[in-house]
Amino acid sequence: MSTLLIIEQVLNGLQFGVMLFLMAAGLTLIFGVMGLINLAHGSLYMIGAFAAAAVAGATGSFVLALAAALAVAAIAGALIEMTVIRRLYGKAHLDQVLATFALILIFSEGTRWLFGSFPLFLDIPDYLSGPVTLPGGIQYPLYRLTLIAVGLLVGLGLWALIERTRIGIQIRAGENDREMIAALGVDIRLLYTLVFAIGAALAGLAGALVGAIQSVQVGMGEPVLILAFVVIVIGGIGSIKGAFIGALLVGLTDTLGGIFLPELFKLFMEPGAATQTGSALASMAIYILMSLVLIWRPTGLFGARA
Amino acid sequence: MKKLLMATAALALGATSTFAETKIGMITTLSGGGAGLGIDVRDGFMLAIEQSGRDDIEVVIEDDQRKPDIAVQLADKMVQSERVDILTGIIWSNLAMAVIPSVTAQGKFYLSPNAGPSALAGQGCHENYFNVAWQNDNLHEAAGAYANSAGYSNSFILAPNYPAGQDALTGYKRTFAGELAGEVYTQLGQTDYAAEIAQIRASGADSVFFFLPGGMGISFLKQYADSGVDLPVVGPAFSFDQGILQAVGDAALGVVNTSQWNKDIDNPTNAAFVESFQAEYGRLPSLYASQGFDTANLILSALDKAEVSDADAFREALRAADFDSTRGEFKFGPNHHPIQTIYAREVIKEGDVFTNKIIGTALENQADVYAADCKM
């Protein structure tokens, strides 16, 4: 196993991690500020990808497609917040899970009704396709480097929004004491809709960015949603910083685990069995990581202490 | 649902006739990621039933959502309360393993339009289980044979870690004469293959074989095309079927894949099938649709000879496989799996549509190796 391969795999892990972060950031904000478990977050990811594929198909412009993904997902998010989610804030988590699970089914079948059951085409634009050679002779796809950059920029922007702006102060205040900030004259309903729309837009962006290298199909959001939940549990619920660190940890563990565990087993097993056992264990690696973190810190890495 | 209503309407009309009713239960994947495959099997199947003009057949269609537990519940419901005579439809091998042994043990017939796990072809074979598509290994064995003829000597191979994935790599290794540069099992449903592609790049292979059905294949091919690795790729038809080629786009052009069916196989049944499928559904059929169509026609041919209630006679009629297949000649081996020719196809572009063209024969009259273990 060469150093080059290891560096390339670390880049892959980072890229996977920052995309997970886009999903997890919205999820953790919504859970932290509103106390709501939103299973339909994966549907917003799918909506972003489908909006991007439709617009890219009609106009041929990837930038417009990304803009459409952001806008459509944000609007869809704001709409479901105002019609469905708003009724769930005071309710038990079980009601929230049931209602948002229903939303998954509605969005999946709605998308199938609109676009059909076959996957849609969304490709990387020409100016971002193909590999570039990094220092040290590593060949790496330019698009994946772009994803890392976009993810880091969004992360930075989100941090600035939360820490440096008035809306950010209100969001943080809402997390700590929602009655008090309502009493101080902040329109809490508008704030909640806004937070939900920001989370939705981030999920939509992730869906569109990832959709270009994967397949745009109904149900694409659910596997990512599960990982995003693992990320926010590891990072500590409600913490953007936690979501960032958690996402990178999960991305790296998943990618590197998939490579090194089979290699490790090959040291003392015959290759066929080693790949099978190694792969099986690698798919558990992030859950093992989650349990270890929870044993060490029951509220996650950056979660509020009870 | 429309089809279901039509079948029910046909049932109402036929109520006065003297025919005995035949009830067929179809459990297939109609929602979620793998829905395209199930929809093709269903549409191909229902096309054949409609074309037969028979009004004494009722088809009950249910969606398994690609979940083994749901498939098992549906099978129980179909056997116990719907009282179907024949079951069919399952796409995925892990679901097939959960359902087929139990329904055949209850005396029902099961005809597989897709999944053909090795466990059910060898010691686990059953007199009431017929596979109309292929044994899982077949198309992969053909890919291995094609790789030999193309002069590849060092392949990197990958497949998801589930029964059909293990069968796939076993099948390829059985016929491929060269060395393996690497062998990787991915997760079922995995969408990012950056890590595997990096391993391919570092492995020094001269060719890549992969089995990644449905959306997994789309993701892999797009990422592979973008990675700058330009080794030739071979695979079974499952990542190059009509339903997903349009989503892969240029990344698939020129890739050689192996299939027991293609739309340009030259026989009257196939020509009529391709034309009527396009007329009915407004899209080109895939190999899954052809498998659904053949399954229905096999059932129809057996019903012409015997009633399902006479299980021994019906089984003999199925075994005779006396129907016009879209693949031309069709016959069953001793374990009720097809013995058939498997072709090498190349992905081409016809106008704006990506599709496949046969470029040669990969394996002729291929049976499966598990038949010898089957005692029935």
Strand pairing report for B353-366 and B22-28: unpaired
Q: For residue A298, how many other CB atoms are within 10 A of its CB?
A: 10
Percent of chain B with pLDDT over 70: 94
With CB atoms and an 8 Å threshold, state whether B226 touches A129.
yes
Nearest CB among A117, A272, A275 relative to B35 is that of A117
With CB atoms and an 8 Å threshold, state whether B161 touches A271.
no
Q: Which residue of B has its CA nearest to A254?
A: B195
Indicate the DSSP class of residue B295: H
Q: Which residue of A has its CA nearest to B188?
A: A283
Listed residue (A147, A149, A171) closest to A159, CA to CA: A171
Nearest CB among A12, A118, A218 relative to B194 is that of A12
Q: Can you tell me the distance from the alpha carbon of B135 to that of B118, in angstroms, rounded to the nearest whole number?
A: 7
Whether residue B213 contacts residue B35, with contact meaning beta carbons closer than 8 Å, is answered with no
Whether residue A36 contacts residue A197, with contact meaning beta carbons closer than 8 Å, is answered with no
Q: Can you tell me the distance from the alpha carbon of B10 to that of A304, in angstroms, rounded to the nearest whole number?
A: 64
Listed residue (B301, B305, B346, B259) closest to B130, CA to CA: B301
Cβ-Cβ contacts under 8 Å, A118 against chain B: 36, 243-244, 246-247
Interface check A143 vs B, CB under 8 A: yes
Q: Does B19 score more than 60 pLDDT?
A: no
Amino acid found at B305: K
Tokens 């229903």, located at residue: A102
Tokens 């291929």, located at residue: B366
> Where along chain A do its domains lie?
18-296
Q: What is the number of residues in chain A? A: 306
Cβ-Cβ contacts under 8 Å, B30 against chain A: 117
Nearest-CA distance B277 → chain A (Å) = 17
Q: What pLDDT digit, counting tens, does each position of A113-124 carry?
A: 898 877 888 888
Tokens 């024949």, located at residue: B86
Q: Average pLDDT in the B333-337 region?
A: 95
Phi, psi (deg, nearest 5) at residue B162: -155, 170
pLDDT of residue B3: 52
Nearest CB among A9, A143, A272 relative to B198 is that of A9
Listed residue (A40, A48, A41) closest to A102, CA to CA: A40
Nearest CB among A5, A214, A275 relative to B219 is that of A214
pLDDT of residue A1: 60
Tokens of B88: 């069919």
Q: For residue B351, how many other CB atoms are within 10 A of its CB?
A: 6
CATH architecture of B138-259+341-373: 3-Layer(aba) Sandwich (3.40)
Helix axes A240-266, A221-235, angle to 10 degrees: 110
With CB atoms and an 8 Å threshold, state whether B185 touches A275.
yes
Interface check A271 vs B, CB under 8 A: yes
Amino acid found at A236: G
pLDDT of residue A116: 82
Q: Does B316 score more than 90 pLDDT?
A: yes
Q: Can you tell me the distance from the alpha carbon of A75 to that of A78, in angstroms, rounded to the nearest whole number?
A: 5
B68 three-state secondary structure: helix
Q: What is the mean pLDDT of chain B?
A: 90
Interface check A223 vs B, CB under 8 A: yes
pLDDT of residue A80: 94
Ranges of residues in chain A with a pLDDT under 50 are 306
CATH number at B2-134+265-332: 3.40.50.2300
Tokens of B358: 């046969």
With CB atoms and an 8 Å threshold, state whether A275 touches B184.
yes
Q: Does B17 score more than 60 pLDDT?
A: no
Cβ-Cβ contacts under 8 Å, B33 against chain A: 217-220
Q: What is the number of residues in chain B? A: 376
Nearest-CA distance B45 → chain A (Å) = 18
Q: What ipTM, to 2 d.p.? A: 0.81
Q: Can you tell me the distance from the alpha carbon of B217 to that of B205, in angstroms, rounded to the nearest whole number?
A: 20
Whether residue B169 contacts residue B156, with contact meaning beta carbons closer than 8 Å, is answered with no
B236 three-state secondary structure: strand
With CB atoms and an 8 Å threshold, state whether A255 touches B247.
no
Nearest-CA distance B73 → chain A (Å) = 20
In Å, how far are A274, B105, B145, B155, B359 from B150, measured between CA atoms? 30, 44, 9, 12, 12
- Give the least confident one: B17-31, B64-78, B315-329: B17-31
Tokens of A177: 């004491």
Phi, psi (deg, nearest 5) at residue B185: -100, 125
Q: Can you tell me the distance from the alpha carbon of B279 to that of B269, in angstroms, rounded to the nearest whole number?
A: 15
Tokens 């191979």, located at residue: B157
pLDDT of residue B65: 86
Nearest-CA distance A171 → chain B (Å) = 34
pLDDT of residue B14: 44
Whether residue B164 contacts residue B188, with contact meaning beta carbons closer than 8 Å, is answered with no
Q: Does B34 score more than 80 pLDDT?
A: no
Which among B200, B201, B226, B227 is the top mutation candidate for probing chain A, defined by the most A β-carbons within 10 Å of its own β-carbon?
A: B226
Q: Can you tell me the distance from the alpha carbon of B40 to that of B45, in angstroms, rounded to the nearest whole number?
A: 8
Buried b / exposed e over A146-181, threshold 16 CB at 10 Å, is ebbebbeebbeebeeebeeeeeeebbebbbeebeeb
Interface check A178 vs B, CB under 8 A: no
Phi, psi (deg, nearest 5) at residue A58: -80, -40
Tokens 């919504």, located at residue: A30
Rounded to an integer, what is the distance from CA B329 to the centroid of its chain? 17
Q: Can you tell me the distance from the alpha carbon of B125 to that of B129, in angstroms, rounded to the nearest whole number?
A: 7
Buried b / exposed e over A90-127, threshold 16 CB at 10 Å, is eeeeeebeebbeebbeebbeebbeebebbbbbbbbeee
Q: What pLDDT digit, counting tens, does each position of B181-231 carry?
A: 999 888 888 888 988 999 999 899 999 999 998 788 888 999 998 898 989
With CB atoms and an 8 Å threshold, state whether A275 touches B198.
no
Tokens 């497609």, located at residue: A65
- In order, the DSSP letters of chain A are --HHHHHHHHHHHHHHHHHHHHHHHHHHHHHHHH----TTHHHHHHHHHHHHHHHHHHH--HHHHHHHHHHHHHHHHHHHHHHTGGGGTTS-HHHHHHHHHHHHHHHHHHHHHHH-SSPBP----GGG-SEEEETTTEEEEHHHHHHHHHHHHHHHHHHHHHHHSHHHHHHHHHHH-HHHHHHTT--HHHHHHHHHHHHHHHHHHHHHHHHTTS-B-TTTHHHHHHHHHHHHHHH-TT-HHHHHHHHHHHHHHHHHHHHHHHHHHHTTS-HHHHHHHHHHHHHHHHHHHHHHHHHH-TT-TTPPP-
Q: Average pLDDT in the B47-70 region?
A: 93
With CB atoms and an 8 Å threshold, state whether B222 touches A213.
yes
Q: Does B311 score more than 50 pLDDT?
A: yes
> Where along chain B do its domains lie?
2-134+265-332, 138-259+341-373
Q: Can you tell me the distance from the alpha carbon of B164 to that of A157, in angstroms, rounded to the nearest whole number?
A: 45
Q: Can you tell me the distance from the alpha carbon of B77 to that of A11, in angstroms, rounded to the nearest whole number?
A: 49
Q: Which residue of B has its CA nearest to A4?
A: B202
Q: Which residue of B has its CA nearest to A16?
A: B192
pLDDT of residue A182: 84
Strand pairing report for B353-366 and B338-350: antiparallel
Q: What pLDDT digit, counting tens, does each position of B83-128 carry?
A: 999 999 999 999 999 999 999 999 999 999 999 999 999 999 999 9
Helix axes A188-211, A166-176, angle to 10 degrees: 110
Q: Does B32 score more than 80 pLDDT?
A: no
Q: Which residue of B has its CA nearest to A262?
A: B184
Tokens 């897709």, located at residue: B114
Q: Does B313 score more than 80 pLDDT?
A: yes
B150 three-state secondary structure: coil
In Å, how far are A127, B140, B258, B294, B331 from B328, measured between CA atoms? 47, 21, 17, 11, 10
For chain B, the 3-state helix, strand and coil shares in percent, each to the nearest 5, are 45, 20, 30
